[in-house]
Structure 1
Amino acid sequence: MNEWNNLDKLSSYQDLQKAGRVDLTKVMAGQEGSDRVGKYQAPMAAGLRFNYAAKQVDDDILKGLCKLAEEAQLASKFEELYNGAVINTGEKRLVLHHLTRGQLGGTVNADGKDKRAFYTEQQEKIAAFAKKVHNGEILNEKGEKFTTVVQIGIGGSDLGPRAMYLALENWARKNNTCLMEAKFISNVDPDDAANVLAGIDPSRTIFILVSKSGTTLETLTNESFVKDALKNAGLDASKHMIAVTSETSPLAGNSDYLAAFFMDDYIGGRYSSTSSVGGAVLSLAFGPEVFARFLKGAAEADKLSAGTDPMQNAAMLDALIGVYERNVLGYPATAVLPYSQALSRFPAHLQQLDMESNGKSVNRRGEPVDYPTGPIIFGEPGTNGQHSFYQLLHQGTDIIPLQFIGFVNSQAETDVTIQGSTSQQKLCANVAAQIMAFACGKQDENRNKNFAGNRPSSIIIGDKLTPEALGALLSHYENKVMFQGFLWNLNSFDQEGVQLGKVLAKRVLAHETDGALKAFSDLLKI
């Protein structure tokens, strides 16, 4: 029977507080540093590796983290989750996003259905629809093929699918599987929809409306914007729109849509890239086979994440080290730094995934916690970030742990040699250099040029960013966030913090305001 206790009540956590600290400027120098690089790594799915040699850990701290994993019952809590327990205590729901890419435990039934069978059925329906679009069985009113797909959604209906699309766009071009161009409309700001519509041919575009409830204000507003544009172009919107929604929403079975594909309340928006939310747009853009490969990588990573040994479970180990940095070393933020332009929007997705999941100050029972929880997440792709915020990372007053992501080869495989090295080699050289610069620093009598070092980082490294590798990367971070929520005794699967602003915005639009809220409304001429 699993016990849900606050982190500061665990004896292994108290032991970690008393443990000695690791000085990276010493352990990463010379032969010891070289040995650590080969020793401190864990296997991931799809050929990826999690290397934590430049983290502030040693064998003793790692033993302490393994004890913490055991005392916090991380493995059995994950098993409880994927076998269908009500883990989302705030909304009294199951948490089933893992089921969208494979069966880890026993059959999970909810709402009178086998949920794995339900998710598989939706994937098959999406695949069949995408194939009909691609082979010309579904055409526009002029008998022309659709060439573009536009996803209309916000939050998890946008950030994850957009990041995944951008991550595979160049790979798909190289492998001749870029079948339709994808665009995304998310912001209720009319400039967003107007800009997307100005760059496409609406007559040859399929629009995907994504709203679980069918009532999301921003999404329905953008749908109306798009429908007006289609009407003004003399087009029948019902021949250009599909819906991804729940079976009970007003969008389901609505004749305004070519087709409807379903999700349910057991998959949070930020965890929905492997559900119909990501499946429709990615299958239309790249083909169902590519989406299936993406799911395969995620499923393989889920299986590794179900392991009981933290030293062979990269997601669990990453989570443990992250909690050690947040709660023992006192670091307030984490920077995610992909040295891959394809992952340009991946940090933005992780911002939502992590900060919406673990940005909580009460535990699963609604009681205040007495320790820091989720860190601030930010990042940009390298090497761009080096010319932006790395100054603070290297010499600022806060130490911010870093998570690099790098690949030996580019997706395009086209390159140029300048000054004896290729662009990809220069990119990889920058990753290696930054890891060591952050860890070891540089002493200089000129204090302005002095680097204290001792700034921890890890790197996830692979050969190339493929659909399988992307799925594995996504699953790794989803499971890392889950394990950290377990350690902090949080409910990582609701997001009440999103709701208050929505409620007040509705009051503003209904002109039901007073005091400062009315004053701000008047200031903005609402």
Structure 2
Amino acid sequence: MINWKNTDTLASYQELANVKRVNLAEAMSGEQGAERVKNYSVSMTEGLDYNYAAKEVDDTVIDALAKLADEAQLVDKFEALYNGEVINTGENRLVLHHLTRGQLGDKVVADGVDKRAFYVEQQEKIADFANKVHAGEIVNGAGEKFTTVVQIGIGGSDLGPRAMYLALENWAKKNGLFKMEAKFISNVDPDDAAAVLNAIDVAHSIFVLVSKSGTTLETLTNESFVKDALKNAGLDASKHMIAVTSETSPLAKSDDYLAAFFMDDYIGGRYSSTSAVGGAVLSLAFGPEVFAQFLEGAAAADKSATNKDVRKNAALLDAMIGVYERNILGYPATAVLPYSQALSRFPAHLQQLDMESNGKSVNRFGEPVDYVTGPVIFGEPGTNGQHSFYQLLHQGTDIVPLQFIGFKNSQIGTDVVIQDSTSQQKLCANVAAQIVAFACGKSDENRNKNFEGGRPSSIIIGEKLDPKTLGALLAHYENKVMFQGFVWNLNSFDQEGVQLGKVLAKRVLAHETDGALKVFSDLLNI
């Protein structure tokens, strides 16, 4: 029997508040710190490890977090989710993004359809289409091969797929698996679409329009922008566009598209990178085999998230430490810092994933909660961030927990030796140094040069960023966010917070405004 209870009603939560806090600077110093680094690590999957030695936890804290995870029935709730219970209470929907990459439990039938079979069918259709494009069997109006794919979408239809594409672009080129360059149009700002269209050869480009409802204002506006560009070039837009949408949307059976691939209401936009939303653009860019490897890595991480032992379940442990930092230690934000340029847009994706999911002040039943929930998420790749906002992270008045991501080897496999070390070694040296600097600090009589330390971080370490490790990394964070939502008794799978602005924007465009809204509209010359 699963019970959905607010965090502050759980006995183990009250116990957690009374656990003695860890002096991180002391715990991470000398041999004690060395032992922590060796022992406070969880093997994930696909060669990844989650190391939490530099977090403000010890065995006593972890034991308390394990009790909270058990009392909150987190893994049981995950099981209910992947077995097809209605978890999205706000929209009365199932939550099925895990089924796009594997069957963790029972067969899930919705609307009379085996959903795993449905998702596999769409993946197979996408694979067949992509292979025909690459082979020159599907061509433009002049009988020439497409060389560029452009995704048109916003929010989850852009952030995740864009981050995944950038993460694998150089890897694919190095391994001879780069098929087509991908570009992305998301912002309704006309300068966004114009910049992309000016940088490509539209005659040899195929456009992927992504909209579940088929009515997303920004996406349809940008589609019109693209269609005008194709028309002005003397091209038939219907020979250059495909749709990713729901079977019930107006795009599903339109003659305006070469093909349509389907998603459904059971997969939220921010969880859609492993669905047709990411599948079409990534399969066209790198080939269906690469996308399949990406799904394989995500499936492996999902399976590891079913382990009830918090010390063997990296996503669960990461989630629980985050809850401890947010609710007990009172830290308002978390920085995600990948020491991999390939992951340059990964923090932006995680901003949406985390903040749209758990940025809630009411529980899953619509009742106000009396505790803080999701943190502010931000980040940039290292070492760029070191020369930007690390000043505040090291010496600012707020303590911001950090999540580093690092790889032992670069994607390209070639490097240069300068001053007795390679670029990759310099990169890794920086992340190692930052972890210890944040944790231990440095005393100095000059207060301007004093570092108090005690600033917690974790790191996910891998051998190399490739499709499988990327899939595992993505699923790790999706599952972390899910577990935290369960702890806080939130519905992590709707996003009513994005709706009000859309409604008001439509009123502005219809000139149905008054008060401050009218004045701002006039100021902006609408």
TM-score (norm 2): 1.00
Matches within 5 A, 1:182-261: 182-261=182-261
Residues 487-519 of structure 1: CA distance to partner in whole angstroms, max 9, x if unpaired?
Answer: 000000000000000000000000000000000
Aligned to 1:445, what secondary structure does the other structure show? coil
How far apart, in 1, do the equivalents of 2:34 and 2:515 lie?
63
Aligned to 1:424, what secondary structure does the other structure show? helix
Matches within 5 A, 1:70-89: 70-89=70-89
Tell me by how many angstroms 1:43 deviates: 1.2
Aligned to 2:85, what secondary structure does the other structure show? coil
Aligned equivalent of 1:320 = 320
How far apart, in 2, do the equivalents of 1:522 and 1:414 lie?
56
How far apart, in 2, do the equivalents of 1:130 and 1:183 lie?
16
Aligned to 1:342, what secondary structure does the other structure show? helix
- The one-letter code sitting in structure 2 at the alignment partner of 1:291 is F
Tell me by how many angstroms 1:286 deviates: 0.1
Aligned equivalent of 2:465 = 465
Q: Percent identity?
A: 80
Tell me by how many angstroms 1:414 deviates: 1.5
- The one-letter code sitting in structure 1 at the alignment partner of 2:404 is F
How far apart, in 2, do the equivalents of 1:451 and 1:311 lie?
31
Q: Does 1:47 align with 2:39?
A: no
Aligned equivalent of 1:114 = 114
Aligned equivalent of 1:297 = 297
How far apart, in 2, do the equivalents of 1:38 and 1:380 lie?
27
- The one-letter code sitting in structure 1 at the alignment partner of 2:338 is P
Q: Does 1:30 align with 2:30?
A: yes
Matches within 5 A, 1:276-291: 276-291=276-291
Aligned equivalent of 1:359 = 359
Tell me by how many angstroms 1:57 deviates: 0.2
Tell me by how many angstroms 1:24 deviates: 1.1
Q: Point out where structure 2 has 5 or more consecutive residues left out of the alignment.
A: none
Matches within 5 A, 1:344-383: 344-383=344-383
Tell me by how many angstroms 1:371 deviates: 0.6
Aligned equivalent of 1:165 = 165
Aligned to 1:13, what secondary structure does the other structure show? helix
Tell me by how many angstroms 1:45 deviates: 1.4
Q: Point out where structure 1 has 5 or more consecutive residues left out of the alignment.
A: none
Tell me by how many angstroms 1:369 deviates: 0.4
- The one-letter code sitting in structure 1 at the alignment partner of 2:512 is E
- The one-letter code sitting in structure 2 at the alignment partner of 1:233 is A
Aligned equivalent of 1:429 = 429
Tell me by how many angstroms 1:413 deviates: 1.1
Tell me by how many angstroms 1:143 deviates: 1.3
How far apart, in 2, do the equivalents of 1:388 and 1:313 lie?
33
Q: Does 1:412 align with 2:406?
A: no
Aligned equivalent of 1:515 = 515
Aligned equivalent of 1:495 = 495
How far apart, in 1, do the equivalents of 2:302 and 2:111 lie?
24
How far apart, in 2, do the equivalents of 1:286 and 1:519 lie?
49
Matches within 5 A, 1:300-311: 300-311=300-311
Tell me by how many angstroms 1:236 deviates: 0.1
How far apart, in 1, do the equivalents of 2:311 and 2:25 lie?
24
How far apart, in 2, do the equivalents of 1:278 and 1:306 lie?
25
Tell me by how many angstroms 1:83 deviates: 0.1
Aligned equivalent of 1:448 = 448
Aligned equivalent of 2:387 = 387
Tell me by how many angstroms 1:141 deviates: 1.2
How far apart, in 2, do the equivalents of 1:207 and 1:440 lie?
51
- The one-letter code sitting in structure 1 at the alignment partner of 2:423 is S
Q: Does 1:156 align with 2:161?
A: no
Aligned equivalent of 1:93 = 93
Aligned to 1:87, what secondary structure does the other structure show? strand
Tell me by how many angstroms 1:58 deviates: 0.3
How far apart, in 2, do the equivalents of 1:266 and 1:298 lie?
18
Of residues 21-30 and 242-251 in structure 1, the stretch that sits farther from structure 2 once superposed is 21-30
Tell me by how many angstroms 1:308 deviates: 0.9
Residues 37-93 of structure 1: CA distance to partner in whole angstroms, max 9, x if unpaired?
Answer: 110011111110000000000010000010011000001000000000000000000
